[in-house]
């Protein structure tokens, strides 16, 4: 798990977020909210949740590792998620993924050293009619990708 | 209209996830600045389903409504003077005020999608103007039993895959002992290649909400959950809005419309796990646990969420309900076939010319959907197969194109109706690769609880991997088939039980491709990298030398500005040259 020192201020902030999810079965919603704030779930964050909610750390870890949305490691500023759904697969998604790997110099699930990019696979973004597609962070879906468009996109993001 | 100055009141842009991907936000911005100048309103609609013609705009005014497609911001600006004077660019007209000009839509029958793409999903008034919540109003004057009878009489079967009769499911839930009961809307839409539910939720969320409230009244539940997959942020946003508006109008909350019935709905976001579409796994996930399925019975109708009787239905199932209540069970039952009533929405994608949402009466043939509505295969290539039902479904060849879409006929082919994903494949797809693709998917999504699914699918995948590398002998293929039957019979939940379908159907209908991989060590479609060679098309190659720079094993040579060659002996098939060629001159055979 990613080890990040946690400051007192952050602790307070987390406490507030945790308090917002007090209902029955809210663990997943809580973890999603924290991941959205922090970018990933660090060990110290999970420990704090465990303490305050009185849920065994192992159980939290079980949930966090079950669902593909959660990451236990810091991720890049830009998380590029390339669709590997059926419609995309039959229209060249493998080639798009290979182009990204080459352009970024990382494999699936990895993050570049400068923490700019993380490359992830996703099963379907529901934009199958515009395949192959990918999405960067929560910005809109990029349609009808080609290797050339991938290179252009990565270069643009680098320059930002 | 042509020649007269139009009074344009409102222009609505198709702002579904797909529309936005196609550039609709820029069109929206352009329209906003035009609207400010000229005094018309700008609004949004969901996806009309003609995804291949996005971005789409609806122009409304005293003249009625006109829909245009393939709109880019710059073109829009240029054409606006003409449009204002009633001259619409011919080739962009989809709906001319009287008729749809595209048979992609004229051949459809829209019940579930009745409002999608036409009304503003974020404005409850527009839903109300289309008889919205009228079904609920009517139902509240009935006894709950009457609702159950009506839904049962309609013959509606669940649209989430298995096709269980909805009326019966509700009846069982109502009859189950206990005071606290739940309604769940399954909006997990995990099948890759399916986007019906997303489009419904983004385009007409109130129809689903109304369906759920009616269900709650019928089974005696006072609380409902919508479980939406995390990959659909826009759908979540639109449901949130819809719930707030419905509550404000008194359709949700305490004493709905002055009756004794109270009902509330909460949203639960998924976190990315295909198995959570399975009902017992979904329930575990709502409870905040790992989404592991459990053995049934007991069925959720008896022991569901937090151990209470629960009726869980798919998005599309719910969207049918208000229509059935308003038009009557008889009218619904008059559409479709003996076995399957009503319509079904399909997400048509893949190598077909027109991609998008297709809603047709049950019993329509696959051929009509793919060729008459979908316009046939892209680039006029040859049809090879249609994949329906996602990872639990199957691939059907051209000789089965006359198969009607209904639960029974599709199950007989070895595929399933599934939730509505329909991916068309042409000669560029390899069926062995596709079977391997689905097993890779299943392998990574198997929750690991039962052995046949966890280990069985892994062994199957290993065999298929070897086959695509040319390392599996034809004697081993029967082993693959035998294992598939074991996994199907012995798995705990629907995921494992249906996982072998893609393999079994491709074995059944495309055996010759398996045979070629095994015996001749050849991939006829040129997809399986292990069995293909990389070649440079000398007619297209300009000799730019980019591939030479990328080739790590120095297998490419040639004079500058002259066509290059790949040395097959040295080539390690990494594919870098193919990705990097700016002229697409490199291909696989
Ligand atoms: C592995 C698996 C995945 C499923 N995924 C979905 C899904 O994404 N959406 C859905 O509505 N039903 C899905 N189902 C079917 C549900 O278990 C359940 O049958 C359905 O939600 C019932 O609703 P219905 O009666 O309206 O069809 C899935 C089933 C299995 C076995
Ligand atoms: S398959 Fe890629 S968006 Fe659906």
Q: Which domains does chain A have, with CATH numbers?
A: 8-66 (no CATH), 78-159 (3.40.30.10)
Contact criterion met (CB below 8 Å) for B170 and B220: no
Whether residue B15 is found in the same domain as residue B143: no
Torsion angle (degrees, nearest 10) of CA B60, B62, B63, B66:
0
How many angstroms separate the CA of residue B97 from the nearest CA in chain A?
26
Whether residue B440 is found in the same domain as residue B401: no
Whether residue B328 is found in the same domain as residue B356: no
Which of chain B's residues have a Cβ under 8 Å away from the Cβ of A130?
Answer: 18, 21-22, 51, 54, 355
Q: Which residue among A81, A83, A142 is best mutated to probe the pocket of ligand 2, counting the most ligand atoms within 8 A of its Cβ?
A: A83
Whether residue B314 is found in the same domain as residue B368: no
Which pTM was predicted? 0.94
CA atoms within 13 A on the CB side of B481: 12
- The separation between the first and the last C-alpha atoms of chain A, rounded to the nearest angstrom, is 29
What ipTM is given for this predicted complex?
0.93
How does DSSP classify residue B231?
Answer: T
Radius of gyration, alpha carbons of chain A:
18
Contact criterion met (CB below 8 Å) for B117 and B45: yes
Domain of B32, in residue numbers: 8-101
Tokens of B312: 């869980």
Which residues, in sequence order, are bridge partners of residue B359? Answer: B345
The answer to whether residue B113 is domain-embedded is no
Whether residue B408 is found in the same domain as residue B447: no
Phi, psi angle pair for B535, to nearest 5°: -130, 150
Of the candidates B288, B351, B437, which has its C-beta nearest A26's C-beta? B288
Whether residue B280 is found in the same domain as residue B224: yes
**A129:B287 CB<8 A:** no
Q: What is the pLDDT along chain B (589 residues), one digit of tens a residue?
A: 677 888 999 999 999 999 999 999 999 999 999 999 999 999 999 999 999 999 999 999 988 999 999 999 888 988 999 999 989 999 999 999 999 999 999 999 999 999 999 999 999 999 999 999 999 999 999 999 999 999 999 999 999 988 999 999 999 999 999 999 999 999 999 999 999 999 999 999 999 999 999 999 999 999 999 999 989 999 999 999 999 999 999 999 999 999 999 999 999 999 999 999 999 999 999 999 999 999 999 999 999 999 999 999 999 999 999 999 999 999 999 999 999 999 999 999 999 999 999 999 999 999 999 999 999 999 999 999 999 999 999 999 999 999 999 999 999 999 999 999 999 999 999 999 999 999 999 999 999 999 999 999 999 999 999 999 999 999 999 999 999 999 999 999 999 999 999 999 999 999 999 999 999 999 999 899 889 889 999 999 999 999 998 887 889 999 999 999 999 888 888 888 988 898 989 988 8
Which residue in B155, B208, B109 sits closest to B332, CA to CA? B155
Cα angle A129, B435, A98; round to 5: 60
Whether residue B169 is found in the same domain as residue B305: yes
User: What is the distance in A from the centroid of ligand 2 to the CA of A130?
Assistant: 8
Give the whole-angstrom CA distance, residue B576 versus residue B553. Answer: 11
> Which residues, at least 6 apart from A63, have a Cβ–Cβ distance to it below 8 Å?
A27, A28, A31, A70, B288, B289, B290
Tokens of B242: 């819809």
Domain termination site, one of B333, B366, B401:
B333
Q: Is B366 left (phi over 0), alpha (psi -120 to 50) or beta?
A: alpha
Q: Quick one: which ligand is closest to B157's CA?
A: 1
Give the whole-angstrom CA distance, residue B18 versus residue B356. Answer: 10
Q: Is A114 helix (H, G, I), strand (E, B) or coil?
A: coil
Q: What is the tally of structural domains in chain B?
A: 5
Domain termination site, one of B398, B426, B454:
B426
Whether residue B308 is found in the same domain as residue B354: no
Distance (Å) of CA B49 to CA A77, B94, B164, B203, B435: 34, 12, 27, 10, 28
């Amino acid at each position: 798990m990613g080890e990040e020192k946690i400051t007192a201020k952050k602790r307070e902030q987390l406490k507030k977020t945790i308090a917002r999810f007090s209902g029955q079965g809210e663990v997943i919603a809580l973890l999603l909210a924290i991941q959205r704030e922090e970018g990933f779930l660090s060990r110290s964050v999970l420990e704090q949740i465990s303490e305050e909610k009185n849920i065994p750390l192992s159980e939290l870890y079980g949930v966090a590792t079950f669902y593909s949305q959660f990451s236990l490691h810091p991720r890049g500023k830009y998380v590029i998620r390339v669709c590997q759904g059926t419609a995309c697969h039959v229209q060249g998604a493998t080639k798009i993924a290979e182009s990204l790997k080459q352009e970024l110099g990382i494999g699936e699930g990895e993050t570049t050293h400068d923490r700019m990019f993380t490359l992830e696979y996703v099963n379907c973004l529901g934009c199958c009619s515009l395949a192959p597609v990918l999405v960067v962070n929560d910005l809109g879906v990029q349609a009808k990708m080609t290797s050339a468009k991938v290179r252009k996109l990565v270069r643009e993001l680098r320059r930002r | 209209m042509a020649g007269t100055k139009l009074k344009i009141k409102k222009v609505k842009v198709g702002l579904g996830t797909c529309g936005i991907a196609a550039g609709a936000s820029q069109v929206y911005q352009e329209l906003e600045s035009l609207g400010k100048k000229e005094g018309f309103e700008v609004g949004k609609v969901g996806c009309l389903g003609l995804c291949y013609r996005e971005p789409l705009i609806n122009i409304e005014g005293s003249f009625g409504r006109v829909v245009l497609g393939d709109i880019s911001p710059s073109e829009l600006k240029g054409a606006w003077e003409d449009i204002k004077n009633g001259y619409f660019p011919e080739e962009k007209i989809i709906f001319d005020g009287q008729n749809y000009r595209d048979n992609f839509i004229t051949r459809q029958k829209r019940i579930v999608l009745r409002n999608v793409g036409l009304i503003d999903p974020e404005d409850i008034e527009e839903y109300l103007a289309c008889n919205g919540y009228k079904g609920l109003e009517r139902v509240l004057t009935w006894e709950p039993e009457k609702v159950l009878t009506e839904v049962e009489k309609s013959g509606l079967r669940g649209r989430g895959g298995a096709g269980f009769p909805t009326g019966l499911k509700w009846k069982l839930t109502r009859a189950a002992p206990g005071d606290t009961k739940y309604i769940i809307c399954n909006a997990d839409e995990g099948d890759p290649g399916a986007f019906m539910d997303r489009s419904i939720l983004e385009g007409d969320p109130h129809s689903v909400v109304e369906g759920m409230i009616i269900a709650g009244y019928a089974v005696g539940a006072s609380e409902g959950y919508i479980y939406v997959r995390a990959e659909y942020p826009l759908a979540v946003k639109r449901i949130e809005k819809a719930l707030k508006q419905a509550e404000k109008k008194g359709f949700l909350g305490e004493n709905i419309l002055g009756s004794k019935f109270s009902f509330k709905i909460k949203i639960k976001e998924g976190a990315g796990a295909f198995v959570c579409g399975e009902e017992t796994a979904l329930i575990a996930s709502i409870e905040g646990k790992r989404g592991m399925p459990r053995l049934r019975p007991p069925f959720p109708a008896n022991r569901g969420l937090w151990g209470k009787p629960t009726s869980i239905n798919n998005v599309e199932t719910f969207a049918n309900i208000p229509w059935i209540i308003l038009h009557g069970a008889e009218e619904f039952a008059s559409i479709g076939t003996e076995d399957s009533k009503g319509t079904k929405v399909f997400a048509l994608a893949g190598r077909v010319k027109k991609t998008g949402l297709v809603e047709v009466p049950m019993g329509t043939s696959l051929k009509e959907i793919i060729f008459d509505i979908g316009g046939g295969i892209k680039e006029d290539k040859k049809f090879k197969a249609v994949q329906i039902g996602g990872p639990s479904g199957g691939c059907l060849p051209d000789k089965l194109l006359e198969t009607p879409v209904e639960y029974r006929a599709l199950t007989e082919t070895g595929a399933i109706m599934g939730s509505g994903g329909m991916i068309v494949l042409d000669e560029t797809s390899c069926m062995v690769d596709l079977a391997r693709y689905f097993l890779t998917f299943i392998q990574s999504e198997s929750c690991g609880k039962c052995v046949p699914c966890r280990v069985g699918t892994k062994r199957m995948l290993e065999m298929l991997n070897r086959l695509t590398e040319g390392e599996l002998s034809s004697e081993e293929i029967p082993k693959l088939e035998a294992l598939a039957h074991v996994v199907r019979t012995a798995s705990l939940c629907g995921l494992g039980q249906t996982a072998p379908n893609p393999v079994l159907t491709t074995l059944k209908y495309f055996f010759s491709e398996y045979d070629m991989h095994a015996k001749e060590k050849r991939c006829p479609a040129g997809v399986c990298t292990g069995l293909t060679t990389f070649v440079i098309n000398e007619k297209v190659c300009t000799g730019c030398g980019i591939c030479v720079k990328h080739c790590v094993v120095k297998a490419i040579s040639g004079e500058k500005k002259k066509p290059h060659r790949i040395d097959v002996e040295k080539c390690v098939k990494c594919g870098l040259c193919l990705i990097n060629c700016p002229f697409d001159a490199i291909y696989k055979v």
